[in-house]
Amino acid sequence: MSTRKTYWVYILASRKNGTLYIGVTNSLERLTWQHQHPENSRTSSSFTQRYEVDRLVYFEDYGDIALAIAREKQLKAGSRVKKIALIEKVNPEWRDLSEGWFDPSPPP
C-alpha cells in the first residue's frame, strides 16, 4: 500500500508587502514552525532570520517533487508584482495561514 507524498511550494513574508521568501518542502507544518521558532531550529536559513520572514502567506500542494520544484523556480523567476498579486488573490489581508497550527507555549 503506497501513501501519496505531498510537497508544498510556499511563500513566507515578513509583513504585508514586506520581504518574501519562496521555497519547497515536504512538511509545511515543520517548515513553518522552524521559521517561527528559529531559536529552537538548526535549519532555519539566516536570510529568513535576518529579515524576520516567518509569516506563511501562500502555499500550493503537489504530488510530484519535480512539479513542485518547477513551480518554485517559476515563482522565484517571476516579478515581485506577480508574486504580490498571487498572494493577494487568495490572501488579501496577508494573514499568517499557519495561525492556530501550534501550541503557543514554548517547548520543554
pLDDT in tens, 8-54: 999 999 999 999 999 999 999 888 877 776 665 555 557 767 777 88
Q: Where are the domains of the chain?
A: 7-90
SS3 content of the chain, % helix, strand, coil (to 5): 40, 20, 45
State residue 43's pLDDT score: 52
Cβ(10)–Cβ(29) below 8 Å = no
Say whether domain 7-90 belongs to CATH 1.20.140.10: no
pTM of the full predicted structure? Answer: 0.84
> What is the rounded radius of gyration, in angstroms, for the C-alpha atoms of the chain?
14
State residue 108's pLDDT score: 43
